[in-house]
């Protein structure tokens, strides 16, 4: 998998299989595998294959366009097939002098299974990252609450200190007043 690409739903990611680059992703339609890089790797005409797939009743009904994030950061649509349909297409190809048979045989042996495992791992990584994000968000909120409570505590401590000083001041004023006139509290008969 491309080290810089983070797994995202609806976006094709780059994977390596049999020393070739392939693209696959999880879209709203499910797991999808791009045919363009596979055709390029096999040495066959992508446009002709895509047109052939689209006219096939079983393959054309399940194929569709999925976004791929290019190196320039832009998103482009790429024609894809779900894993079972891609496997049917691979096994239905006709050997020609242009097709790279070693890669074709390797793809038929395990490309789909490999990509499904990679997509599962990507989906697991998405799930793990979302949990980490939720945990981080909760920790951030707790930290903000802690700072708020500490500020409130410091504010209340300062107010309590000020009230203590005011209390002491009032108490001292009362004592001064009481000491001035000792008869003030006596009751005359």
pLDDT digits (tens, 9 = 90+) for 64-76: 888 887 777 788 8
Half-sphere exposure of 99 (CA within 13 A, CB side): 16
The average confidence (pLDDT) of the chain is 82
The pLDDT of residue 47 is above 90: yes
Give Cα separations from 34 to 41, 73, 107, 144, 171 (angstroms): 12, 18, 13, 45, 85
Tokens 């000020």 sit on residue: 162
Q: Give 185's pLDDT tier (boundaries 50, 70, 90).
A: low
pTM, two decimals, is: 0.59
Whether the CB-CB separation of 1 and 13 falls below 8 Å is answered with yes
Mean pLDDT of 30-44: 90
Whether the CB-CB separation of 14 and 37 falls below 8 Å is answered with no
Nearest CA among 115, 121, 104, 92 for reference residue 17? 115
């Amino acid at each position: 998998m491309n080290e810089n690409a983070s797994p995202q739903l609806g976006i094709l990611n780059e994977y390596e299989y049999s020393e070739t680059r392939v693209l696959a992703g999880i879209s709203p339609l499910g797991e999808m595998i791009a045919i363009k890089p596979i055709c390029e790797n096999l040495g066959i005409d992508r446009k002709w294959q895509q047109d052939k797939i689209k006219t096939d009743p079983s393959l054309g009904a399940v194929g569709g366009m999925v976004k791929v994030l290019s190196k320039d950061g832009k998103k482009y649509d790429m024609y894809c097939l779900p894993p079972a349909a891609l496997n049917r297409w691979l096994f239905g190809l006709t050997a020609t002098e242009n097709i790279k048979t070693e890669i074709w045989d390797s793809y038929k042996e395990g490309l789909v299974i490999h990509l499904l495992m990679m997509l599962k791992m990507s989906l697991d990584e998405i799930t793990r990252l979302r949990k980490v994000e939720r945990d981080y968000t909760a920790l951030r909120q707790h930290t903000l609450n802690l700072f708020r409570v500490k500020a409130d505590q410091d504010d209340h401590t300062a107010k309590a200190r000020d009230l203590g000083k005011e209390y002491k001041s009032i108490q001292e004023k009362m004592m001064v007043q009481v000491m001035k006139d000792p008869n003030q509290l006596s009751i005359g008969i």
